């Protein structure tokens, strides 16, 4: 108990110290939203085939999304809530259309619970329509796990949401503290409170995130997934090969679980 209490204090301190200047069980099929690469095209349009920038969310959807010729792959690991075995998923996606001139469409295919049941046993398809409303803001409407193919069972369900995002540039000194990205929205499904999920109440709930871009290769994230708080970082270890790593602590406030969980994601973005 004492060690767990210390962990909670440390995690909350991280929110205050890093994010202030600026999940119901997150089952493996929810990892798609956690570990895919955010695609704020304003920052990355001039980069070559492989491209990446630190993420700004670790669980909540964003208004931004990929356009035609954008693609990404990602994978995630998590300690399962409730003391179960560890699990993970693998995802890939691409963009259609043009969110600046009209509407962009994000298409994501996710292999659920890959660690336990194997690749492709349960495959989910998710979609998001998104639109840039200014040079630094966007809105998106989507459905996670719109349908699931394969014979394996899953506790995942469809989640419909609407999200908006805004990038706020900062006048940082010495190249640090470059921008803050804030996102927020409402959704059902996995965004509901734990008690509503347990009782299968047909409710909706709010979610939101804030990401502080400290350098071109590092950002700090605080994310309210609708059920609990996640805090972490997003790191691009190598400039020459922009893999994005996102280690984080989930269930920090204890509203969805009495134990903090470790989660980890990795991903790569591409521009064709």
pLDDT: which is higher, 36 or 119: 119
| CATH code, domain carrying 40 | 2.40.160.40
**Is pLDDT at 70 greater than 90 in this prediction?**
yes
**Is pLDDT at 18 greater than 70 in this prediction?**
no
Q: What is the mean pLDDT of residues 168-175?
A: 78
**Is pLDDT at 27 greater than 50 in this prediction?**
no
How many domains, in total, are found in the chain?
1
Residue 131 pLDDT grade (very low, low, confident, very high; cuts 50, 70, 90): very high
**Is pLDDT at 76 greater than 50 in this prediction?**
yes
Beta-ladder partners of 32: none
Q: What is the mean pLDDT of residues 210-218?
A: 94
The first and second tokens of residue 190, run together, are 């996995």
| Contacts made by residues 169-177, CB under 8 angstroms, sequence distance 24+ | 169/136, 175/215, 176/214, 176/215, 177/21, 177/212, 177/213, 177/214
Per-residue pLDDT at 10:
43
Per-residue pLDDT at 118:
64
Separation between Cα atoms, residue 71 and residue 90, nearest integer Å: 14
**Is pLDDT at 127 greater than 50 in this prediction?**
yes
Question: 238-253: per-residue pLDDT in tens?
Answer: 988 879 999 999 999 9
What is the share, in percent, of the chain residues with pLDDT greater than 90? Answer: 58
Q: What's the chain's average pLDDT?
A: 81
Separation between Cα atoms, residue 77 and residue 116, nearest integer Å: 12
pLDDT: which is higher, 267 or 11: 267
**Is pLDDT at 69 greater than 70 in this prediction?**
yes
Among the residue ranges 113-117, 157-161, 182-186, 242-246, the one predicted with the least confidence is 113-117
Residue 114 pLDDT grade (very low, low, confident, very high; cuts 50, 70, 90): low
Q: What is the mean pLDDT of residues 213-222?
A: 95
pLDDT: which is higher, 87 or 60: 60
Per-residue pLDDT at 149:
81
Among the residue ranges 19-33, 70-84, 189-203, 226-240, the one predicted with the least confidence is 19-33
Element housing 164 (H / E): strand 159-169
Q: Name, of 44-53, 112-121, 138-147, 168-177, the range with top average pLDDT.
A: 138-147
Q: What is the mean pLDDT of residues 160-178?
A: 88
**Is pLDDT at 32 greater than 60 in this prediction?**
no
Domain that includes residue 267, residue range: 2-271
CB neighbour list of residue 79: distance below 8 Å, 6 or more residues apart: 86, 261, 262, 263
Per-residue pLDDT at 196:
93
């Amino acid at each position: 108990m004492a060690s767990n209490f210390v962990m909670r204090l440390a995690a909350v301190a991280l929110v205050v110290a890093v994010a202030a200047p600026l999940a119901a069980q997150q089952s493996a099929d929810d990892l798609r939203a956690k570990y895919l690469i955010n695609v704020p095209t304003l920052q990355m349009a001039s980069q070559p085939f492989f491209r990446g920038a630190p993420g700004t969310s670790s669980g909540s959807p964003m208004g931004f999304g990929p356009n035609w010729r954008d693609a990404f792959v990602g994978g995630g690991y998590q300690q399962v809530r409730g003391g179960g075995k560890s699990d993970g998923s693998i995802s890939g996606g691409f963009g259609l259309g043009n969110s600046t001139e009209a509407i962009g469409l994000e298409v994501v295919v996710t292999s659920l619970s890959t660690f336990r049941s194997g690749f492709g046993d349960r495959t989910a398809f998710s979609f998001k329509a998104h639109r840039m409303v200014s040079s630094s803001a966007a809105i998106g409407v989507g459905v996670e796990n719109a349908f699931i193919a394969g014979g394996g069972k899953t506790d995942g369900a469809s989640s419909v949401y609407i999200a908006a995002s805004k990038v706020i540039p900062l006048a940082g000194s010495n190249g640090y503290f470059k921008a803050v990205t804030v996102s927020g929205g409402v959704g059902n499904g996995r965004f509901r409170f734990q008690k509503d999920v347990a009782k299968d109440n047909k409710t909706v709930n709010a979610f939101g995130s804030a990401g502080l871009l400290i350098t071109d290769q590092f950002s700090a994230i605080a994310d309210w997934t609708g059920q609990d708080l996640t805090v972490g970082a997003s790191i691009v270890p190598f400039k020459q090969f922009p893999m994005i790593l996102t280690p984080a602590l989930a269930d920090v406030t204890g509203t969805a679980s009495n134990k903090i969980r470790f989660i980890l994601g990795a991903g790569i973005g591409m521009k064709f």
